[in-house]
Structure 1
Amino acid sequence: MKSRWIVGGGDYLEHAYQAWKQARPDEAVEKIEVPQSPDYAFDLNVFDALDPAQGAMFIAFDERFGNFKRMELLQAAMERGFALEPFVAPGASVAPDAVIGPNVFVGANASIGSSAHVEYNCVIHAGVNLGFGVRLRPSCWLIWA
């Protein structure tokens, strides 16, 4: 069985981890917190204990740094050969011709319409509806209010 590593930090790490665990109870889902130094540099040694051939990764880091730190982790994972997969929650609706990029999070009851294109590293929280032909550039965060 391949592993699924949810990697990052902050509240969003816990949120993403719980979503993956609930949606994929038959998979080995592991939460891995990446420590940061006082100057916010990541300790990337956590990647050294993982084999890219043995699983896939999802990067989950809070938006408090304007997504820059999340992108830094994403880049480090890709440089080390890890596959980054999107997460689509049970109950979310994604049109068959919609394109969902790597490391995208689609929450419960979200809807993505026909011909939509969601580029990598986006977060679409529960209840958000994207209509026909919508295009999201990388690293967008959409929250239903």
Structure 2
Amino acid sequence: MYESYTRQSLPSKEYRELLGTAICVFNSNNAFIIENILMCDNNESWYKLMDKTCMPLQEKIKNIIFKDSNNKIYDQFKKICEMRNRIVHSFQCTYKNEQILATKDKQNKQFYITKEYLLDFIKKNEQLSDMLHNFRGF
């Protein structure tokens, strides 16, 4: 598929919509994590936290906020960060005569980022958002 703003081949509009949604829900949760960190620790800085990548934020979650929450939020955020990394560090290819993203895991096994993968990622982010709302208490 092509658009007027680029000559490069693109995935379908539906796929790109899911991809954009996936990035937006992750970014929303990332900001929500930071909000919860700031709620628990007044010594933290929003400006510094916004520049942190997933790994340092995971450590903040583990050490500041969620040590008493059975690590469910930490585990969910870690899983989501791994999935997000596969999306962001992907490459475009042709799959079933359509443009789609593909990636590889840490064991170098390649796989396609299908619509189902994106929908699962979005769902996991929704679950994390619910957990964060419950943790915040309102």
TM over 0.5: no
Higher helix content, 1 or 2:
2
Based on CA coordinates, which of the two structures has the bigger radius of gyration?
2
Q: TM-score range by the shorter chain?
A: under 0.3
Higher strand content, 1 or 2:
1
